[in-house]
Structure 1
Amino acid sequence: MKRNGEESKGRTERRDAAENRQRILDAAIKLFEQHGVEQVSMNQIAMEARIGSGTLYRRYKNKSELCLDLIKDNIVLLFENIEVYLKEHQSDPPRQRLKGVISLFMGFREKKLQLLTGVEEGALAGSHFRFNLHEIVVQLLNEMKTDEHTEPNTVFKADMLLMALRSDSYVFQRDVRGYSAESFLEQICLTFFPERSSTAIHEV
């Protein structure tokens, strides 16, 4: 059983930890807005938050984990919006539903591009986020399959689709190739799940 002094110390430590977390997040947002996520180091964040680098690394192993913490509420909201969209459009063809899901994700990417780029830099930090999105994509691709022997593996196709939707790929197509968000979405659909004419389906 804890003594009163021990309980008070525990509450103080929890309060200090919460305060440190908020200072870290506030410092990170400030620096990211000023310099961009890629240009800011963990040491800079620690200095701006006025904490030791050890304290920072005990809470966040790398910048990817920090970026994920900054947008985790937005990610939760994204998947809630996707769930609502899929329920409201459950009678639509799977191709149309997948296009809608990708459109929602691209809207999210536009708003949180820098932080999402930071998340993507860490393989483990964004793994749960990518897994959930991958699962949705695979399910919709499976609904589109017409022949197990001629169709590509949907897990592989989903992997390649999500690679094409990564920040670096999206920014390259937008800034270098000159695609608008709408044109990019159309090219993704044409590349990974083009519409088939009824004649083509019968021929398969």
Structure 2
Amino acid sequence: MSRSETTQIRSERRDAAENRQRILNAAIKLFEQNGVEQVSMNQIASEAQVGPGTLYRRYRNKGELCLDLLKDNVDQLFNDIETYLEQNHSAPSSQRLKGVLSLFIRFRERKAQLLMGVEDSSSINPLRSRMQSPLFNELHQLFVELIDEMSISAQTHFNSTFRADILLMALSRDSYSFQRDVRGYSPEIILEQLCALFIGIK
């Protein structure tokens, strides 16, 4: 590869990095001013002073953009979960699942607006988009593993995939917000009820 080609590639990478940062900065500003739901992708492109094509090449929808904004927080969440599981490796699987749920509910409370954007991405099938996101995929895998352990220790058979699916739906924006804002349940009560329903502990 020639020196000029190398220089061009570096320039393109620098431009892409600058565009990404402009997009993220614009999104944060607009989300803080108007809320995630009220902001369109075109508004973000305009605020970032990039063309819509540039924005959509990097982010197919607002959910992907919100997930990028959440990335460091999501990484920290899973680091916290990993640390918790390592520190409590000898605890019953039901207790460890409760601990993971508690960590996610705290995360959901702190990052509600961006999670809303991830879950409500402008997909033709928002439910499928939500459940196939990296965040929910990794949580689903964790839930399945812990429910499988519960099944073995209880000498019974749980459909771990089904239980994990329903548990994630209970933690999704629509269901969680309904319990929180309409029913008036605190995060602590929601955790207690989920554990009683899905795990059999309080």
Q: Would you say same fold, with TM above 0.5?
A: yes
Secondary structure of 1:45's aligned partner: helix
| Distance in 1, Cα, partners of 2:60 & 2:84 | 35
Q: Find the aligned partners of 2:20 and 2:181 in 1 and give their Cα distance.
A: 35
Aligned to 1:162: 168
Give the 3-state SS of the residue equivalent to 1:38 in structure 2: helix
Matched with 1:28 is: 27
Runs of 4+ in structure 1 deviating by more than 6 angstroms, as ranges, are none
Contact kept in structure 1, 2:23 and 2:48, CA below 8 Å? yes
SS of equivalent to 2:39: coil
Contact 2:94–2:146 (8 Å) recurs in 1? yes
Structure 2 letter corresponding to 1:81: D
Name the counterpart of 1:189: 195
Aligned-residue Cα RMSD (Å) equals: 1.6
Q: Distance in 1 between matches of 2:134 and 2:185?
A: 29
Deviation of 1:121 (Å): 2.6
Q: What's 1:173 paired with? A: 179
Structure 2 equivalent of residue 91 of structure 1: 90
Residues 110-162 of structure 1, C-alpha deviation per residue, up to 9 Å, x if partnerless? 111111121123444752221211111111112222244xx441110111001
Task: Give the TM-score taking structure 2 as reference length.
Answer: 0.90
- Structure with bigger helix share is 2
Taking structure 1 as the reference length, what is the TM-score of the superposition? 0.89
Equivalent residues in 2 for 1:1-204, closer than 5 Å = 1-2=1-2, 4-122=3-121, 123-124=128-129, 127-145=133-151, 146-148=154-156, 151-195=157-201
Residues in 1 aligned to 2:176 and 2:62: alpha-carbon distance in whole angstroms: 21
> Gaps spanning 5+ residues in structure 1: where?
197-204
2:63 and 2:118 in contact (8 A); partners too: yes
Is the Cα contact below 8 Å between 2:148 and 2:158 reproduced in 1? no
Query: Amino acid of the residue matched to residue 116 of structure 1?
Result: L
DSSP-derived class of the 2:36 partner: coil
Q: What CA distance in whole angstroms lies between the structure 2 residues aligned with 1:134 and 1:116?
A: 16
SS of the residue corresponding to residue 91 of structure 1 reads coil
Aligned equivalents of 1:195 and 1:6: distance in 2?
62
Structure 2: distance between partners of 1:158 and 1:5? 53
Which residue identity lines up with residue 112 of structure 2 in the other structure? L
Q: How far is the alpha carbon of 1:6 from its aligned partner?
A: 2.2
Distance 2:61 2:102 in 1: 30
Percent identical pairs in the alignment equals 61
Q: Highest CA radius of gyration, 1 or 2?
A: 1
Q: Give the AA of the match of 2:34.
A: H
* Gapped regions of structure 2 (runs ≥ 5): 122-127
Matched AA of 1:7: T
Kept in 1: contact 2:147–2:158 (CA 8 A): no
